[in-house]
Amino acid sequence: MSRTVFTTVLTLAFVAGCSSKPQLASIDGKVTLDGKPAGGVIVGFWPADPGAKLGTNNYGRVVTNAAGEFTLVADAVSGFTAGDYRISFSRILDAKDTPQPDAKPGEGGARETLSAAYLDPSTSNTSATVRLPATSLTFELKTAGMPPPPSLSKASYK
């Protein structure tokens, strides 16, 4: 092997080793509320280590479809690094009870409909371990015994 070819191969191997990105996992799952599919739920993934720096692949959110299902397929930029996560949940509905995941409560009649406890990953009491290459998760939320959403009184929360 000539010296030039050897140097080129060695350089390429070094560059490939230095620029390797972490392997990312795909995640699919389902969210139910009181045993029924929960569409329009924002599922937030937060590193379990509170000191971890939030980054592209260790923090994120996904929104459930009408059947309460979600999918995040790992590719060059999407997906999560393997590890432990704390989970938060939010479901914002408009005045017609249509999910509005990008709205802010109070805007145009939009309101949070999940318990205040679910909104914060430190109080949701929900965690998940993401494994490579893919992870399936099921989250069963409930209303009974939970504090009401921030905008509702306990009497009107069912």
Q: Do 152 and 92 form a contact (C-beta atoms < 8 A)? A: no
44 pLDDT band, cuts 50/70/90, is very high
CA distance 58 to 84: 9
**Averaged confidence pLDDT in the chain:** 83
Q: Which helix (H) or strand (E) holds 9?
A: helix 3-18
Vertex 109, ends 154 and 68: CA angle to 5°?
Answer: 70
pTM of the model: 0.80
Vertex 118, ends 48 and 92: CA angle to 5°?
Answer: 125
Tell me the pLDDT tens digit for each residue of 57-107.
788 899 999 999 999 888 877 888 999 999 999 999 998 999 999 998 888
Query: What mean pLDDT do residues 121-137 have?
Result: 96
Q: For position 51, what pLDDT does the model report?
A: 82
Map out the domains of the chain with their CATH numbers. 22-151 (2.60.40.10)
Tell me the pLDDT tens digit for each residue of 3-27.
544 343 444 444 444 556 788 999 9
Q: Do 115 and 149 form a contact (C-beta atoms < 8 A)? A: yes
**Percent of residues, the chain, with pLDDT higher than 90:** 54
Q: Do 99 and 68 form a contact (C-beta atoms < 8 A)? A: no
Q: For position 2, what pLDDT does the model report?
A: 52
